Amino acid sequence: MALPKSRTPSGRCPAGLWRQKGFPRGGSLKDHLLLLLCGGGGDVLVGGGILVVVIVILVVVAEQQALVLVQFLFTVVEIECGGGQGTGSGKFGLGQKMTRAAYAAALCRLMGWKTVTPEKGSFTDNQDTKKWYFSAIETASEHDVFPGHSTTCRPNDAITREEMAAMTVRALGYSTLSGTVQDECPFTDVTTNPGYITLAWRMGLVTGMNAAAFAPKSDTTREQAAAVLLRAYQGLKTKVGVTAVSAAPAGAVLAESLTGTSGAVPLSPRAAVEQVYDAAVKAGRGGSVTINAVPAAQTVKGGKAGELRTLSQEELSAYLSGSDVQKARSGRFDSSYLIYKEKDGSTTVVWYESETDIAEKTELCALLGIKTVYVLK
Edge-to-edge strand ranges of the sheet holding 253-255 = 241-245, 372-376, 288-292, 253-255
Q: How far apart are CA 298 and CA 30, in angstroms?
A: 60
Q: Compute mean pLDDT per 10 residues along the chain, 377 residues long, and list them.
A: 39 38 41 37 36 46 48 51 44 80 92 94 96 96 90 96 97 96 96 97 96 96 89 92 95 92 82 97 97 95 88 94 90 94 91 96 97 97
DSSP letter for each residue of 148-164:
TT-S---TTSBPBHHHH
Output DSSP code: residue 221. B
Partner residues linked to 266 by β-bridges: 261
Q: Cα 118–14–327 angle (5° rounding)?
A: 75
Q: Does residue 356 sit in helix, strand or coil? A: helix
Q: What are phi and psi of 266, to 5 degrees?
A: -65, 135
What are the residue boundaries of the structural domains of the chain, listed by start?
15-159+219-237, 241-376
325's enclosing H/E stretch is: strand 325-330
Q: What are phi and psi of 205, to 5 degrees?
A: -80, -35
Partner residues linked to 221 by β-bridges: 97
Alpha helices (H) in the chain, listed in sequence order: 29-38, 48-60, 63-81, 100-111, 134-142, 161-172, 175-178, 194-202, 222-237, 273-283, 313-320, 355-367
Contacts of 300 (CB under 8 A, 6+ apart): 264, 265, 266, 306, 346, 347, 348, 349
Q: In this predicted structure, what is the pLDDT of residue 117?
A: 95
Pairing of strands 241-245, 372-376: parallel
- Whether the CB-CB separation of 270 and 296 falls below 8 Å is answered with yes
Question: Residue 47, class by beta-carbon neighbours within 10 Å (0-12 exposed, 13-18 middle, 19+ buried)?
Answer: middle
Partner residues linked to 219 by β-bridges: 160
Q: In this predicted structure, what is the pLDDT of residue 90?
A: 56
Listed residue (67, 69, 145, 144) closest to 103, CA to CA? 145
- Whether the CB-CB separation of 43 and 21 falls below 8 Å is answered with yes
Q: How far apart are CA 85 and CA 314, in angstroms?
A: 55
Q: Cα 11–13–15 angle (5° rounding)?
A: 160
Q: How far apart are CA 73 and CA 77, in angstroms?
A: 6
255's enclosing H/E stretch is: strand 253-255
Q: In this predicted structure, what is the pLDDT of residue 59?
A: 43
